[in-house]
Structure 1
Amino acid sequence: MVSAGRAAAVSAAPGSATAEGLLDRLAGVTDPRDPRGVRYALATLLAIGVCAMSAVGHNSLTAIAEWVRRCDQRELRRLGCPFNPFTGRYRVPDERTLRDAYSRVDPTDLTAVGFGYLATLARPGPAPLTPDGVAEREQRRAHRAVAADPPRRRAIAVDGKCLRGAKRPDGSQVFILSAVRHADAVTLAARQIGAKTNEIPEFAPLLDQIGDTDLTGSVITVDALHAQRAHAVYLVEQRHAHYLITVKDNQPTLAATLRALPWKQVPVLHRQTGRGHGREEIREVQVVTVDDLLFPHARQVVRIRRRRRQLGTKKWTTEVVYAITDLPTHQARPEEIAAWAREHWTIENSVHWIRDVTFGEDASQIRTHHTPAVMAALRD
């Protein structure tokens, strides 16, 4: 909630113009606490977390509690803290109050409310400048690409992330599965993965949290772990969405079938060259039309050949990736498929990276009940 909408939502000082709007949205999160003895509204405690995290360094519950203690009376009033008539001052929640509330909140509910808030603030496409106003090269390149030939369909990336510092009582690590829009890196839904399961059975429940308005007709991009027949059937037949799935050797029969196609006879339909991060990259896309091909509703197979070299060297490395989609040729051009495949890493570059580097998520050792997932939702 912070990383995607920080600039437009609430700044480090909670007296910004949209603070009341944030409180109104957070009031939609179900409060699981016993109403007897509750002193602070749940929306207030969550808003404190959002505002504190927007100031880099306040990444733990202790830091959040210290941040709110430094707030002045005007800021506490805008955050919705209760007024003490005996002291004539607004009350300040302590770390224990924050920890108890966050451990009880349903992170799925919080993510849904956060998306509803950020959706009204997010730009329709990548901006020409970074949030800091810097004309960064990759930002300009993405802006020009979308402005010149935008994909005809919305795209949503689904991927999981391990919260490396957080552990359950049994010692297992906490994983979060998220669905993120390509265009603006806004998290539509997130789901904590159970201790005795993995991402695969959580795929459909995650997307069930997204309404038909956002999912119908969209392209869902996933990595090779989700190259599951049941996922394809669910997306196309139940949710009327589309898929672009990377295929690797975890599905050996399907991967061997894709490699055996007559690629030497297939022309390169899209080529893109780019420079950035100290390297040069050439991407070539070949497409073959198929009919199901051992996978439900498959209509096109994509072969993406990436050649890279570090600037100042002559050695090239080559990587070949295969993917399948249910969209026929007239609904998905090669350049659109290439854009979706590349933008799938939005969830890594614009969400996971910000959580880890800016907010220090992997270093966080918060581990009580739902607290790790709730903190992840606040960082989104």
Structure 2
Amino acid sequence: MKLKPKITIADHFAVMSDPRVDRTKLHKLIDILTIAICAVICGADSWVAIELYGCTKYEWLKTFLELPNGIPAHDTFARVFAQLNPQEFQECFLNWIKSIQKITLGEVVAIDGKTLCSSHDKSSGQSAIQMVSAWATTNRLVLGQVKVDEKSNEITAIPELLKVLELSGCIVTIDAIGCQKDIVKLITQQKADYVITLKKNQGNLYNEVENLFKSGISTGFQGFEHSTYKTEETGHGRHENRHYVMLSDIQSRLDPDSVWSNFNSVGMVESVRQVNGKTTVETRYFISSLKDNAKKFANSVRSHWGIENSLHWVLDVALKEDDCRIIKDNAPQNFAVMRQIAVNLLGKENRMKRGIKNKQFLAAMDNKYLERVLALA
């Protein structure tokens, strides 16, 4: 007896509400969702491509899907995903992630926003959609994402994302837009630490932190609880030295009224970069709940950019997210969830030592390899 491929991810999406009226249900919703997810894993980036994938793989799909009326047409895929409740689809995604994630103690969880560049629609006045994602940098896993409200910004989206994540024992990193008291409070309420960038538009806090470091440097940090760490990198015609300094026990100086939750330290990164004989110096400041550990602070700062290099870059280059012209109703947001599923599953499959683009190509050609990828769910 031939065993069916283990596609436990379908169990998490089987609870989705069907937005269609009964007379239009020629195809089961779980069949539509499963075909679309498999197709996106294999590189499909349009409804036509998803239909073509389904028709090509019909015999294989039939081994575990009912397909009572064959493969849905591309218009059916487009219509269903435009109508699917994106919050419900996202909730199913989060439940799946929680069932497979194994967060390492001290894991850096980077939170950052990304614009779906081609999701704008001039004819309807729809602006490009912005999504905020959480990326587990060690386990290389998308933990969740939320859409930024069209009339708002990431400041309102980040708290919504934090509320649905499990972050105990993690270090959350966010750029300057996340330097908000309410956001910091949400992080610490989950028993997590934070490292958040400061920028000059933070007003008094930025100036106070900058002056504190200037005072410390001028006295050799006498009277300051501090630690330092240095890195040096050379490659691709570039030489860069980074000097990390962390000042702890600073609450009485910077936050005597304790308006910031677990505000235990501030960090400074001075980067001296030489490229083609030209030297540039950049200084950045951070607030943090970490205590006197410049090396851990340095790792958190460096790890944050993993969301750019390992997630956003993959979405743009391998999955062509910025070129996708799916723009109708809820479809862009729902398609973004399917891309995140593809990134997670293809990233977890580590027996094939290839990039995600080549893994997609292999999954499209080899059903057994795709079954192995899906089994990771």
Q: TM-score of the superposition, structure 2-length normalised?
A: 0.78
Match of 2:206 in 1: 255
Summarize the alignment of residues 1-380 of structure 1 with structure 2, pairs less than 5 Å apart: 18-56=5-43, 58-78=44-64, 80-83=65-68, 91-117=70-96, 153-167=106-120, 169-210=124-165, 214-236=166-188, 238-261=189-212, 262-264=215-217, 265-266=220-221, 269-276=228-235, 278-289=237-248, 290-291=250-251, 293-294=254-255, 296-297=260-261, 298-310=263-275, 313-329=276-292, 333-380=293-340
Question: 5+ residue gaps in structure 1?
Answer: 1-14, 85-90, 126-151
Q: Which amino acid letter does the alignment assign opposite residue 326 of structure 1?
A: S
SS in 1 for 2:162: helix
What is the number of residues matched between the two proteins? 323
Measured after TM superposition, the shift of residue 184 of structure 1 is 2.2
Deviations 1:163-200 (A, max 9, x none): 11012532322111112212123222211112111111
Task: Give, in whole Å, the separation in 2 of the partners of 1:16 and 1:285.
Answer: 55
Q: Which runs of 4+ in 1 moved over 4 A?
A: 15-19, 118-125
Q: Tell me by how many angstroms 1:115 deviates.
A: 4.5
Q: Is the 8 A contact 2:162 2:187 kept in 1?
A: no
Quote the RMSD (CA, aligned, Å): 2.6
Write the distance in 2 (CA, Å) between the matches of 1:170 and 1:185.
36
SS of alignment partner, residue 49 of structure 1: helix
Q: Distance in 1 between matches of 2:100 and 2:186?
A: 31
User: Matched residue of 1:215: which SS?
Assistant: coil
The aligned residue for residue 356 of structure 2 is none
For residues 318 and 16 of structure 1, the distance between their equivalents in structure 2, rounded to whole angstroms, comes to 60
Taking only the aligned residue pairs, the percentage that are identical comes to 25
The SS at the match of 1:29 is coil
Query: Which structure's residues are more often helix, by fraction?
Result: 2
- Report the CA distance between 1:118 and its aligned residue: 5.1
In the alignment, structure 2 segments of 5+ residues that lack a partner are: 341-377
- 8 Å CA contact 1:40–1:81 kept in 2: the answer is no
Give how far 1:124 is off. 6.9
Deviation at 1:21, TM superposition (A): 1.9
Displacement, 1:28?
3.6
Distance change in 2, residues 1:60/1:280 (3 Å): farther
CA distances 1:130-175 after superposition (whole Å, capped 9, x unpaired): xxxxxxxxxxxxxxxxxxxxxx512211111111101253232211
Listed one character per residue, the Cα deviations across residues 202-256 of structure 1 (whole Å, up to 9, x for unaligned) are 221111122xxx22232211000111122122322x4333221100122122111
Residue in 2 aligned with 1:143?
none
CA displacement at 1:358 relative to structure 2: 0.8
Work out the CA distance in 2 between the residues paired with 1:158 and 1:344: 8
Residue 338 of structure 2 aligns to a residue whose secondary structure is helix
